[in-house]
Amino acid sequence: MKPDSKSSTIFNVAVLVASLGYFVDIYDLLLFTIVRVPSLKSLGISQDEIDKGIGVWLMNIQMIGLLLGGIMWGIIADKKGRLRVLFGSILLYSVANIANGFVQTTAAYSFWRFVAGVGLAGELGAGITLVAEILPKEKRGYGTMIVATVGVSGAIAANLIAKLVPDWRYCYFIGGGLGLVLLLLRISVMESGMFHAAATDNAVKRGNIFALLNNRERFIKYLKCIMLGTPTWFVVGILVAFSNKFAVEMGVKDPIAPGDAIAFCYAGLVLGDFVTGWVSQLWKSRRKVMILFLLLTTVCTAVYLHQSGTGKAFFFTICFLLGFSVGFWAIFVTIAAESFGTNLRATVAITVPNFARGMLVLITMLFGWLQHSFSYLTSAGIVGVVTIGLGLLASYLVPETFGKDLNYMETI
The more confident residue out of 357 and 326 is 326
Residue 230 predicted with pLDDT over 90: yes
Report the candidate in 271, 281, 93, 74 with the shortest Cα–Cα distance to residue 179.
93
Helix (H) or strand (E) holding 394: helix 376-397
Torsion of CA 243, 247, 250, 253, to 10 degrees: 160
| pLDDT for residue 262 is more than 90 | no
3 has pLDDT over 70: no
> What's the pTM value of the predicted model, to 2 decimals?
0.88
What's residue 259's pLDDT? 77
pLDDT the model gives residue 237: 87
- Asked whether the predicted pLDDT for residue 138 surpasses 70, the reply is yes
Higher pLDDT, residue 256 or 173: 173
In 3D, which of 396, 380, 386, 373 has the Cα closest to residue 303?
380
Statement: residue 7 has pLDDT above 60: no
Q: What is the pLDDT of residue 9?
A: 66
- Across the chain, mean pLDDT equals 89
pLDDT at residue 327 greater than cutoff 70: yes
In this prediction, residues 92-115 reach a mean pLDDT of: 93
Round to whole Å and give the CA distance between 202 and 409.
Answer: 13
Domain 11-397 is classified in which CATH homologous superfamily? MFS general substrate transporter like domains (1.20.1250.20)
For residue 6, is pLDDT > 60?
Answer: no
DSSP-assigned letter for residue 238: I
Whether the predicted pLDDT of 305 surpasses 60: yes
* Average pLDDT for 106-132: 91
- Helices 82-100 & 13-42, crossing angle to 10 degrees? 30
pLDDT at residue 113 in the model: 93
pLDDT-derived band of residue 187, with 50, 70 and 90 as boundaries?
Answer: confident
- For 240-252, how does the pLDDT look when each residue is reduced to its tens digit (9 = 90+)? 988 888 999 999 8
pLDDT at position 183 = 84
The reported pLDDT for the residue numbered 321 is 97
- Cβ atoms within 10 A of the Cβ of 396, count? 12
> What is the pLDDT at residue 144?
87
pLDDT at 328: 92
- Residues of the chain with pLDDT > 90: what percent? 49
Mean per-residue pLDDT, 318-324: 96
pLDDT, one tens digit per residue, over 45-60 is 887 777 667 777 887 8
How is 51-98 classified by DSSP, letter by letter? HHSHHHHHHHHHHHHHHHHHHHHHHHHHHT-HHHHHHHHHHHHHHHHH
Q: Count of CB atoms within 10 A of residue 102's CB?
A: 11
